[in-house]
Amino acid sequence: MPFSPITLGQQIKSAEVEGFVLTETKHAPSLVIPSHAHEHASLSFVLNGSFIETLNRQARQCAPFNLVIKPAGEIHSDRYGQLGAQCLIIEIKPGRMERLRSVSRLLNSPSLLQSDSLSLLAMRVYSEFQAMDAASVLTIEGLILEMLAEASRSYSMRKQGTTRPRWLLRAVELMNEEFAREGLTLSRVAAEVGVHPAHLARTFRRAYRSTVGDYVRRLRVEYAAREIARSDRSLAEIASAAGFYDQSHMTTAFRLHMRTTPAAFRAAFKTSNPATKKLRPSKT
């Protein structure tokens, strides 16, 4: 089977960054693409819409903010939803693949990842891709490498069957559910899961390479980024819903994690796709 172009839909924008080729694509509603394969390994981040991808007779639903990994030459077919789909595809050229041997196992098998941390990194890549200023090339390369490292780490942990205490998983679940609520503290989370706060802090840092406070702050930024990208709610409203004191507090945290302001981030998404809010309306 001859290789197909990186996209069989509409190519909106493309740029090459140090052996990575970034392409923004758009596919029409209800489009069906029969079995085909691409020459290079790729990471596909779903910006809007959805599609069903079938590999080896197994179908997987690809939704907004999912990251799809495909090895070079992987035969697959696609069926797009009623709203079509918009994606950012990152191809990895052969020369760059040679320098990525540490994550070769990850790139040798197809994966569908739904990690908040990966989504946040991918959204930062997309924001820089839209800006493409003097610093964007260096920033994009670093972010893609960070994405690959994070995905590879998750892949290795699954393969090794790494386990964590049930109380720690419950603590993470609690933070994921209540990150926006006022009064969420280390002591309260520790009390809920029945351990000492210091023990929770130490164990959490070893397992997740982050403090509890930084983890909760990142959850708030991730929520804000998704809402900014997919809705037309005001920034003040999003800041409040995310658990920040006010819009200024959100802007400070957002700039720290995303290396841009909420307003600039929204502009990048809206410029590329003015119908974003119609594709993925905000829940109220």
pLDDT band of 80, cuts 50, 70, 90: very high
> What are the tens digits of pLDDT across the range 22-72?
999 999 999 999 999 999 999 999 988 889 999 888 899 998 888 999 999
Helix (H), strand (E) at residue 12: strand 10-17
User: If you average pLDDT over each of 85-94, 158-167, 205-214, which comes out highest?
Assistant: 85-94
pLDDT (0 to 100) of residue 140: 94
Residue 219: helix, strand or coil by DSSP?
A: helix
Domains of the chain, earliest start first:
10-160 (2.60.120.10), 166-279 (1.10.10.60)
Is-contact 51 79, C-beta < 8 A?
yes
What are the tens digits of pLDDT across the range 170-203? 998 899 888 988 878 999 999 999 999 999 999 9
Q: What Cα–Cα distance (Å) separates residue 20 from each residue in 17, 82, 148, 244? A: 5, 31, 12, 36
Give the whole-angstrom CA distance, residue 107 versus residue 4. Answer: 19
| DSSP state for residue 56 in the 8-state scheme | T
What backbone phi and psi angles, to 5 degrees, belong to 56? 50, 40
Q: What is the pTM of this model?
A: 0.73
C-alpha distances (whole Å) from 99 to each of 89, 92, 94, 103, 151 are 20, 11, 9, 9, 17
Dump pLDDT digits (tens) for 206-245.
887 789 998 898 889 988 988 888 788 999 999 999 999 8
- 209 three-class SS: coil
d(CA 162, CA 198) in angstroms, rounded, equals 23
Query: At how many degrees (to 10) do helices 197-208 and 186-193 cross?
Result: 100
CA dist 160 and 197 (Å) reads: 28
DSSP helix/strand/coil, 24: strand
